[in-house]
């Protein structure tokens, strides 16, 4: 029997779910244990935000009897032919002050998917669907991801760093340290060299006298909290989602590095209004990014957070490799509050807007300058000056003015944004000179 399920087996699972077969029956049919079938369905099923007929995706518990109009607060409706807002493709859930989310609890009980549900063709709630072709694609991609990168958590690297660094600085070689501390290290000597190559410790190859004599042979390894984080979130998936939801606002996310090993800046860029936020982090870790989004969620509230952050596009940095905890909260198991997608490797042009926005930051904090002496108040001051600078692409308006027009001054204030008078705007290094 093959180690992994193949496409034909997944087609059998998909058809069996439609026929209301149990996991035990599916397991007997495929010659697998029932838990294998359960894990297959739970790991590779996908969420779909679809409706039916003239009713788009809508998760409001009051949707059936709702007759409200113009809940988006604009007199220039982009879909004037719809009778009520619940039929609008822009989705009234983002704007309606009476919105309360309804979640179908059947998705969280066996068989965990909507494939065999008799109501699926007239349901506007979020659905969980098992699709054999998509499951095969995800499984193939996951296997590929699992055979690349580094299998280690941030805590594990901190532990290894504490053992290794002091001894290397005393002039000991990796080989000597490994022989002495093999039981504590719990990894191979080759793995330690790979981690040093990847810059994951506070030592570099230059600290290993014999190592620098040899040409580098290996690709720089990359630490990822979840090595399958790109499955279902790559740039193609992003394009498909945006084609289905063309009016969705996109937020781009990136990191700006000061000096190596020092404080790092997380930047968040609202593409439709060109507004950029900056958050100072002590280290370039995934937890520091998650903590920022959790704080924003608490500050804004669920409804306003979902309105501001429906889709986030970022690069493949290891600090962004725990998307579930950003999408669903700290434990990664809550209700979805945003969606994260990744650009293709070595393709920064796919999020060109935030890359251009970084040019303003580099006017004030030149490349190579450390962020260590700066505070979050300094970063907010810098961002307020940048966001008050008028742009030609915004018809002479500043990003702050555009944001307030779309979302209101209250949300801008809760994000820490303030307007700076035109005569006081300073986009030079003197702004943060201490």
Q: What is the pLDDT along the chain (434 residues), one digit of tens a residue?
A: 567 888 899 999 999 999 999 999 999 999 999 999 999 999 999 988 888 877 888 888 888 888 888 777 666 566 666 778 877 765 677 778 888 888 888 888 899 999 989 888 889 888 999 999 999 998 888 887 766 666 677 778 888 989 998 998 888 888 889 888 888 888 888 888 888 877 788 888 778 766 655 555 555 555 666 767 888 899 999 999 999 888 899 999 999 998 877 899 999 999 999 999 999 998 888 889 999 999 999 999 988 999 999 999 999 888 898 898 899 887 666 678 999 999 998 888 999 999 999 999 999 999 888 899 999 999 999 999 999 999 999 999 999 999 999 999 999 999 999 999 999 999 999 998 86
Q: Are residues 15 and 141 in the same domain?
A: yes
Among 207, 223, 244, which residue terminates a domain? 207
Does 68 reside within a domain? Answer: no
Does 343 reside within a domain? Answer: yes
Q: Are residues 248 and 382 in the same domain?
A: yes
Q: Are residues 292 and 366 in the same domain?
A: yes
Q: In terms of Cα–Cα distance, which of 332, 334, 344 is closest to 225? A: 332
Alpha carbons 423 and 15: distance in angstroms, whole number? 67
The distance of Cα 163 from the centroid of its chain, to the nearest Å, equals 32
Q: Are residues 165 and 47 in the same domain?
A: no
Distances (CA, A) of 234 to 181, 255, 295, 370: 40, 19, 26, 32
Alpha carbons 56 and 88: distance in angstroms, whole number? 7
Alpha carbons 195 and 213: distance in angstroms, whole number? 18
The confidence score (pLDDT) of residue 35 equals: 93
Q: Is 245 helix (H, G, I), strand (E, B) or coil?
A: coil
Q: Are residues 335 and 369 in the same domain?
A: yes
Alpha carbons 86 and 79: distance in angstroms, whole number? 11
The confidence score (pLDDT) of residue 158 equals: 85
The confidence score (pLDDT) of residue 261 equals: 74
pTM: 0.60
Q: Are residues 164 and 143 in the same domain?
A: no
The confidence score (pLDDT) of residue 279 equals: 96
CA angle 347, 348, 354 (to 5 degrees): 155
Q: In terms of Cα–Cα distance, which of 303, 327, 304, 305 is closest to 314? A: 327
Does 73 reside within a domain? Answer: no
If one counts the domains in the chain, the total is 3
Q: Are residues 329 and 406 in the same domain?
A: yes
Does 65 reside within a domain? Answer: no
Does 90 reside within a domain? Answer: no
Q: Is 42 helix (H, G, I), strand (E, B) or coil?
A: helix
Does 125 reside within a domain? Answer: yes
Q: Are residues 245 and 299 in the same domain?
A: yes
**Contact call for residues 270 and 289 (beta carbons, < 8 A):** no
CB-based burial of residue 428 (10 Å sphere; 0-12 exposed, 13-18 middle, 19+ buried)? exposed
Q: Is 278 helix (H, G, I), strand (E, B) or coil?
A: strand
Alpha carbons 407 and 307: distance in angstroms, whole number? 9
The confidence score (pLDDT) of residue 99 equals: 84
Residue-number span of the structural domain to which 167 is assigned? 154-207
Q: List the CATH number of the domain containing 251.
A: 3.30.420.10
Where does residue 380 fall: left (phi above 0), alpha (psi -120 to 50 degrees), or beta otherwise? alpha
Does 229 reside within a domain? Answer: no
Q: Are residues 280 and 365 in the same domain?
A: yes
Question: In what order do the strands lie in the sheet containing 275-281?
Answer: 275-281, 264-270, 250-257, 311-314, 339-342
Question: Taking the CB of residue 410, how many other CB atoms lie within 10 A of it?
Answer: 10
Among 115, 131, 147, which residue terminates a domain? 147
Q: Are residues 181 and 292 in the same domain?
A: no
Q: Are residues 400 and 252 in the same domain?
A: yes
Does 430 reside within a domain? Answer: no
Distances (CA, A) of 212 to 37, 204, 235: 50, 10, 37
The confidence score (pLDDT) of residue 106 equals: 87
Q: Are residues 158 and 194 in the same domain?
A: yes
Instruction: Give me the count of residues in the chain.
Output: 434
């Amino acid at each position: 029997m093959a180690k992994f399920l193949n496409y034909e087996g997944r087609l059998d699972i998909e058809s069996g779910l439609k026929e209301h077969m149990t996991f035990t029956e599916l397991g007997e049919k495929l010659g697998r244990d029932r838990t294998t079938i359960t894990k297959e369905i739970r790991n590779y099923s996908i969420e779909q935000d679809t409706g039916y007929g003239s009713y788009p995706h809508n998760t409001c518990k009051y949707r059936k009897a709702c007759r409200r109009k113009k809940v988006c607060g604009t007199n220039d409706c982009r879909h004037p032919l719809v009778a009520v807002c619940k039929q609008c493709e822009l989705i009234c859930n983002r704007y309606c002050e009476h919105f309360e989310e309804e979640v179908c609890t059947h998705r969280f009980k066996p068989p965990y998917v909507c494939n065999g549900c008799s109501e699926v063709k007239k349901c506007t709630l979020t659905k969980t669907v098992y699709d054999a072709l998509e499951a095969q694609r995800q499984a193939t991609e996951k296997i590929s991801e699992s055979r690349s990168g580094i299998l280690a958590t941030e805590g594990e690297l901190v532990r290894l760093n504490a053992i290794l660094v002091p001894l290397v600085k005393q002039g000991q070689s990796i080989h000597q340290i490994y022989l002495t501390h093999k039981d504590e290290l719990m990894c191979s000597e080759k793995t330690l060299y790979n981690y040093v190559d990847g810059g994951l410790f506070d030592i570099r190859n230059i600290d290993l006298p014999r190592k620098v004599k040899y040409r580098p042979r290996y690709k720089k390894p990359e630490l990822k909290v979840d090595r399958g984080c790109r499955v279902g979130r790559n740039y193609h998936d992003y394009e498909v989602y945006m084609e289905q939801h063309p009016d969705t606002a996109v937020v781009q996310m990136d990191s700006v590095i000061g000096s190596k090993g020092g404080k790092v800046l997380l930047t968040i860029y609202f593409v439709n209004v060109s507004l950029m936020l900056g958050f100072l982090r002590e280290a370039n870790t995934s937890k520091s990014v998650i903590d920022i989004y959790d704080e924003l969620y608490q500050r804004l509230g669920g409804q306003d957070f979902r309105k501001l952050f429906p889709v986030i596009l970022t690069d493949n940095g290891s600090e962004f490799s725990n998307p579930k905890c950003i999408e669903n909260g700290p434990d990664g198991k809550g209700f979805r509050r945003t969606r994260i997608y990744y650009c293709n490797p070595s393709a920064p042009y796919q999020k060109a807007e935030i890359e251009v926005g970084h040019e303003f930051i580099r006017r004030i904090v030149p490349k190579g300058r450390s962020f260590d002496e700066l505070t979050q108040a300094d970063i907010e001051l810098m961002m307020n000056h940048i966001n008050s600078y008028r742009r030609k692409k915004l018809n002479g308006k500043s990003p702050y003015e555009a944001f307030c027009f779309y979302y209101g001054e209250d949300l801008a204030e809760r994000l820490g944004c303030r307007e700076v008078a035109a005569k006081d705007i300073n986009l030079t290094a003197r702004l943060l000179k201490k």
